[in-house]
Amino acid sequence: MKTIQAKMHNSISWAIFTGLAALFLFQGVPVRSGDATFPKAMDNVTVRQGESATLRCTVDNRVTRVAWLNRSTILYAGNDKWCLDPRVVLLTNTKTQYSIEIQNVDIYDEGPYTCSVQTDNHPKTSRVHLIVQVSPKIIEISSDISINEGSNISLTCIATGRPEPTVTWRHISPTAVGFMSEDEYLEIQGITRAQSGDYECSASNDVAAPVVRRVKVTVNYPPYISEAKSTGVAVGQKGTLQCEASAVPSAEFQWYKDDKRLVGGQKRVKVENRPFLSKLIFFNVSEHDYGNYTCVASNNLGHTNASITLFEINEPTSSALFQEEKTTAMTPWKAPGAVSEVNNGTSRRAGCIWLLPLLILHLLLKF
């Protein structure tokens, strides 16, 4: 009977204490400057989302009752747990310290926590503020975009975090310098082909590494021919006319001669197309092939053309080459100070003997 009465008395005492503690907390009653230094809580506690937060309260042997409260909710009173949250556990309850731990902290755990003690039937409180930091997260960003040159675009990048993250935009390009925007929005007026490529949004708040996302911007423009050079080829040789054009989307190429379109599949002529490049190949050039050709490059935004000439060049004939080499070979070499004896038979025979190996070598190389 006495045990039951003691438990009832203890429960009533706790109820009165916690009720007074909650009342003091609700009314915002602070510890008076003339009071003892206890209960003494920690400074503000800062943790990252997902980590554990430890709340400590320094006490001494004059304390008869102690509790931790969150706003008007009692978390622990002595060794008794009053809240249902399994993440809140009691760490220490000694004559010098009373501490609890909140595991896997989330943003809704942020706020004031109060250590309340009772000494000589007078409740006293000390407050600590829990600050929860959250890593930056990009929750909304523009999709990849394809737009015609000269148009205006607006890119959006929305990020969350605690503290609020700083959002920046930059163009991933060898010629780009610094940030294009230090805001959630990036506006580009009259975009040019040089501004196409990847745009990077970065959100940072020093809690964790910056979060980065990219948007690909494709700028469409009509073709322009960057290279179209005339070529000289001899009759019977292989010749190639080349036409290079830049365009987005890629250009389609066509070749014309005298208003007649040339197509691949012919015996002596082949059209070879690649992105940004077209070749007109002649396998065995004839007199009929010489003349002006037109390269036409087009896409859905426009077209352009260039005139290219296949002209004839003359190659030296084999007989002319042989005559030139023969003349050179038959001319004797005279050393400085040498005397030519036209009527001297011995000199003539020596000259013939000297020329004979050279003639044999020439004939071997020729045939």
pLDDT (tens digit per residue) in 198-257: 999 999 998 999 999 999 999 999 999 999 989 999 999 999 999 999 999 999 999 999
For residues 340-347, give the mean pLDDT: 40
pLDDT for 201? 97
Q: What is the mean pLDDT of the chain?
A: 80
121 or 288, which is more confident: 288
- 272 phi and psi angles, rounded to 5 deg: -120, 115
For residues 123-133, give the mean pLDDT: 92
d(CA 136, CA 210): 7
Residue in this structure with the two tokens 């948007």, named with its chain if needed: 215
d(CA 271, CA 252): 12
**Under 8 Å CB-to-CB from 131, ≥6 apart: which residues?**
44, 45, 46, 47, 110
61 has pLDDT over 80: yes
161 Ramachandran zone, left/alpha/beta (phi>0; psi -120 to 50): left
- Name residue 69's beta-bridge partners: 74, 114
- Name residue 48's beta-bridge partners: 133
pTM for this predicted structure: 0.67
Q: Which CATH class is domain 45-133?
A: mainly beta
For residues 298-313, give the mean pLDDT: 96
For residues 302-308, give the mean pLDDT: 96
When the candidates are 3.40.50.2000, 3.40.640.10, 3.90.1580.10, 2.60.40.10, the CATH number that belongs to 230-312 is 2.60.40.10
pLDDT for 180? 82
pLDDT for 268? 84
Of 45-54, 279-288, 343-352, where does mean pLDDT reach its minimum? Answer: 343-352
DSSP 117: E
pLDDT for 122? 78
d(CA 44, CA 33): 20
338 has pLDDT over 70: no
Token duo for residue 39: 């209960």
pLDDT for 39? 59
pLDDT for 320? 41
Helix, strand, or coil (residue 124) = strand
Type of residue at 117: V
For residues 118-124, give the mean pLDDT: 81
pLDDT in tens, 157-176: 999 999 999 999 999 987 77
- Where does the pLDDT of residue 11 fall: very low under 50, low under 70, confident under 90, or very high at 90 and above? very low
pLDDT for 36? 44
Fold of 142-220: Immunoglobulin-like (2.60.40)
> Which of 104, 12, 111 is closest to 65 using CA atoms?
12
62 has pLDDT over 70: yes
pLDDT in tens, 63-103: 889 999 998 899 999 999 999 999 999 999 998 999 999 99
pLDDT for 63? 86
343 has pLDDT over 70: no
Of 43-47, 152-156, 263-267, where does mean pLDDT reach its minimum? Answer: 263-267
Q: How far is CA 248 from the centre of its chain?
A: 22
- Where does the pLDDT of residue 341 fall: very low under 50, low under 70, confident under 90, or very high at 90 and above? very low
DSSP 264: T
190 has pLDDT over 90: yes
Sheet holding 88-93, edge to edge: 40-41, 53-58, 97-102, 88-93
pLDDT for 356? 55
Token duo for residue 274: 């690649």
pLDDT in tens, 207-219: 999 999 999 999 9
pLDDT for 34? 33
Q: Where in the chain do CATH 2.60.40.10 domains reside?
A: 45-133, 142-220, 230-312
